Amino acid sequence: MKNKELFLQKDWLVLVVLAIWILTYFLARALLENMQLAMWLRTVVALIPILPFGFFLYLIFLQIRGMDELHLRVQLEALALAFPLAIVLLMTLELVGQALDLSYERHVWHYLPLCYFLGLSIAWRRYL
């Protein structure tokens, strides 16, 4: 019972750290877009979201290490699908942008988790 309670606490901790990372990211973007700051301060503000994101990754890796073989295999297949999908997305945006002389949104990284979740859903369908 204690292991399950500890696992649930880790899940909540992951969600809290994820929320902190998202908040610091949007706060940093707002400050950088709306404030006139010195270059060194702009750099510090831009780097602030890295700390909660690094802690988030650490917690995710702790959870992955505790997974059984099936879950590990599903995660590996999801990442193996997500990486090439992300490359195709970025390559297509760049080439179409050059071909049509378009400037695409510079925040395309928001679409990268979608590649992971698509890979995750395909991987889980294989084993269910």
Q: Domains of the chain: which residue ranges?
A: 1-66, 68-128
Query: Does residue 37 come out as left (phi exceeding 0), alpha (psi in the -120 to 50 range) or beta?
Result: beta
Q: What pLDDT band is residue 90 in, cutting at 50, 70 and 90? A: confident
Cα–Cα distance, 5 to 112 (Å, whole number) = 32
Q: Give 21-57 pLDDT, tens digit per residue.
A: 999 999 999 999 888 989 999 999 999 999 999 999 9
Q: What pLDDT band is residue 63 in, cutting at 50, 70 and 90? A: confident
Which token pair is 27? 């706060």
Q: What is the DSSP letter of 123?
A: H
Q: Is the pLDDT of residue 5 over 60?
A: no
CA dihedral 22, 26, 32, 36 (to 10 degrees): -120
pTM equals 0.71
